[in-house]
Amino acid sequence: MTQHPDFSPIREKLVEFRRHLHSIPEIGLSEIKTPAFIAEQLESWGYTVHRKIATTGLVASLERGRPRKAIGFRADFDALPITEETGLPYASQHPGTMHACGHDGHTTMLLGAAWALAQDRAFKGTVHFIFQPAEENLGGAKLMIDDGLFARFPCQRIFALHNLPGLEVGQFASRAGAIAASIDVVTIVVKGRGGHGALPETTIDPVVVGSSIVMALQTLVSRNVSPHERSVVTVGSFRAGSAANIIPDVAVLNVSMRTTNADVRAELQRRIEDVATFQARSFKAEVGFTWEVGYPATINAAAEVDRAAASISRHFGSDAFTRLDAPMMFSEDFSFMLERVPGAYILIGNGDSSGLHSATYDFNDGILERGAALFYHLAKDANGPGDGSAEVA
């Protein structure tokens, strides 16, 4: 193992940064305090910060020497609409909003890397530090790309870190190919004919129709998708009616769909509409669909996973990296960046903590330096001797 950057001058500050960010969570594209705080730290270390990319996103770059290639690092900084129940002294000060996915920690790790690389006068290369909003709700990665992210800050490779509860503290993990699933959401509106609960034969009951659709959707994966392909269809919400003795006119289902294969994604979208349409017709009901096409599957480039694994083994030990056998089924809008630039999405263990998106979750401050050090080493290795990606002035 090689020597890590000396974080001692900023060690306590990193914890303070993370806990301050945790206390001021903001929902995607309404972030004001968060990007202002990030920019303040970066500017205090000599960075020029490019703000208001996709409304609240920002980028800072480090350029030394005459590198032919640039590396990009991305951290997300938005929060979730969850009421925090941790009771921590630095818990959310914004009622109903919480950093329940660790984006406060991801941001702090990237800030730590930006500080370390700024201090390292021997470093030669170009690094773009990308701080991204709206990962949880509006696909901030795509919004930044559409706003010229890679035209203004071209990258030859790109990396992101995400914490994972249940994985050993500080352990790194990833895999080539699909690492996270796509996500799409469809609202299915069933239109029947309401009436008195005592006279169901005079109605077209959308509750019965919707229930039939729910049950039929359970066969989509088991009878339409190979068992070798990972996919999930979930009916997360079913809303209808207002009283026990009234048959309503309308029922509304909200369905999420996750896959790791683009062809399976398209097939399931088609089959959801087919199944719901024909179930509705069998009851003489009508059905409509509103799709919110979400995030594609997160696909890692094999070469960049190998690059990350080599850096981790070199700097943290041969047992510090785990190659996952299968993708995770959560979704991640870093997928949009990986469609444009080869790179890797890497997990870092948060240990035995509450799960992501839980009201009792908290990021493990013990992995802040380790994550920052990984970004640092990836930048150094990408622009160091033998890589062919840098020319020293």
The CATH number of residue 281's host domain is 3.30.70.360
What pLDDT sits at residue 68?
73
What pLDDT sits at residue 293?
83
Nearest of 59, 142, 53, 187 to residue 332 by alpha carbon: 142
End position of a domain, from candidates 295, 321, 344: 295
What pLDDT sits at residue 130?
99
What pLDDT sits at residue 218?
96
Task: Report the chain's mean pLDDT, rounded to a whole number.
Answer: 96
Query: Across-strand partners of 143?
Result: none
State the average pLDDT over residues 120-144: 97
Torsion of CA 359, 178, 302, 300, to 10 degrees: -50
State the average pLDDT over residues 218-233: 95
What pLDDT sits at residue 1?
62
Indicate whether 106 and 197 sit together in one domain. Answer: no
pLDDT at 86 over 80: yes
Cα–Cα distance between 329 and 344 in angstroms, integer? 16
State the average pLDDT over residues 313-337: 97
What pLDDT sits at residue 384?
61
- Domain contains 1: no
From the number of C-beta atoms within 10 Å of its C-beta (0-12, 13-18, 19+), residue 87 rates as: exposed
What pLDDT sits at residue 299?
98
pLDDT at 89 over 70: yes
pTM of the model: 0.94
Indicate whether 204 and 337 sit together in one domain. Answer: no
Indicate whether 32 and 124 sit together in one domain. Answer: yes
End position of a domain, from candidates 258, 274, 295: 295
pLDDT band with cut points at 50, 70 and 90 for residue 3: confident
Indicate whether 315 and 270 sit together in one domain. Answer: no
- Domain contains 50: yes
CATH code of the domain in which 95 resides: 3.40.630.10
- Domain contains 389: no
pLDDT at 388 over 60: no
Contact status, residue 300 vs residue 343, Cβ threshold 8 Å: yes
Indicate whether 289 and 301 sit together in one domain. Answer: no
Cα–Cα distance between 92 and 89 in angstroms, integer? 9
End position of a domain, from candidates 269, 295, 321: 295
**Contacts for 263 with CB less than 8 Å, ≥ 6 apart:** none
pLDDT at 390 over 70: no
Give the N- to C-terminal CA distance of the chain in Å, as an integer.
29
pLDDT at 386 over 50: no
- Domain contains 194: yes
Domain ranges, residue 132: 11-180+297-382
Contact status, residue 11 vs residue 112, Cβ threshold 8 Å: no
Number of domains in the chain: 2
What pLDDT sits at residue 389?
35
pLDDT at 67 over 80: no
What pLDDT sits at residue 66?
78
pLDDT by residue (tens digit) across 230-268? 999 999 999 999 999 999 999 999 999 999 999 999 999
- Domain contains 302: yes
- Domain contains 57: yes
Indicate whether 213 and 172 sit together in one domain. Answer: no
% of the chain with per-residue pLDDT over 70: 97
How many degrees, rounded to 5, is the angle at CA 265 between CA 172 and CA 81?
A: 60
